[in-house]
Structure 1
Amino acid sequence: MIARLKGILLEKTPPHVVIDCNGVGYECEVPMSTFYNLPNIGETLTLLTHFVVREDAQLLYGFGTERERATFRQLLKVNGIGAKSALSILSGLSVEDLIQAIALQETGLLTRVPGVGKKTAERLLLELKDKFSVEGLTGNVNAPKSAASDVLNALVSLGYNEKEALLAVKQLAPDVGVSEGIKLALKALSKS
């Protein structure tokens, strides 16, 4: 098993990168969150990896953080989610946004990721609801899920993108109601 690569970045073409490790070039697929944080070509790079051996291929997936790799591995355990789908999910949502969507049981955020339909999103929420720790996330994760979810849906329907809406919802107090939450979130969004 290949667990980590450290070498010189030779090529980067989304979602593929090639890393020269002592004369051997390893091709990895990386999520866009990792891709955006890559150094310039010719610089040293360290990636945590997940190695997949199939009957027709040997594939290497690279990640910038242990949290991304652990999330990728957790996604692979969901029925119907393969490596390509897991990579797509991590490219479309940050780990924090994914955890937030799972905590709020929000299928709308997941269905905006290419390749994730309503049934797949519902399966993800069902199978992952007890798998992720929401520690470290602030604000409304501890609030009643319906209130936070309603505030989030209201902001998205008003035209705010999911990231802006999630950030605003995270800043709310845990005991805020829906109407007050919408007012506070709109106020916070107008300042940014």
Structure 2
Amino acid sequence: MNKNTVILISGSGSNMAAIVTASQKDRWRERFGAQVSAVISNKADAPGLAFAQKHHIPTAVVDHKGFASREAFDAALMAEIDRHTPTLVVLAGFMRILTPGFVQHYAGRLINIHPSLLPAFAGLHTHQRALDMGCKFAGATVHRVTAELDHGEILDQAVVPVLPGDTATTLAARVLTQEHIMYPRVVERLLRHMTVVKEG
């Protein structure tokens, strides 16, 4: 059975693009029976959708503005995701807070990347907050998603030094380059582990 990864985005999807590129370059299908089977956005104009389509990956839009409640949106989103029988659901710049029911539905299969060294600076404006606190290091964290925002088991972290004269913008750009390396690595590791467990 194919191990399907569904990626959720809201914007440019640069981390999604890094994962798709790695999946094709490193032959995940041949090695793990794994593929990125869909990219889903809550915004029809998300630039990342065009990248996915260019790489022959099915895309879908579930616009949160069309739903009366967060629960109704999450139910529709789950229905779209579940069409692809996902082994992993990967949040890659998906700018929606998910309901506990959604998180529970994908327990153990749902991961996220956050632009700070968790548990420090959960939530928004992470780079500016790190600068305001005088941090010497910043970075990013890939973690399992739980009902509590930006908590859950830490799967990997990338550390980036804060340089003299850094702004939130320059720091974010440097962290992002490390995210593009780390996130595909974590996804591949999870898929490889699933392959070993299945064979064992």
- The answer, yes or no, to whether TM exceeds 0.5 is no
Q: TM-score, normalised by structure 2?
A: 0.28
Q: TM-score, normalised by structure 1?
A: 0.29
Bigger share in helix = 1
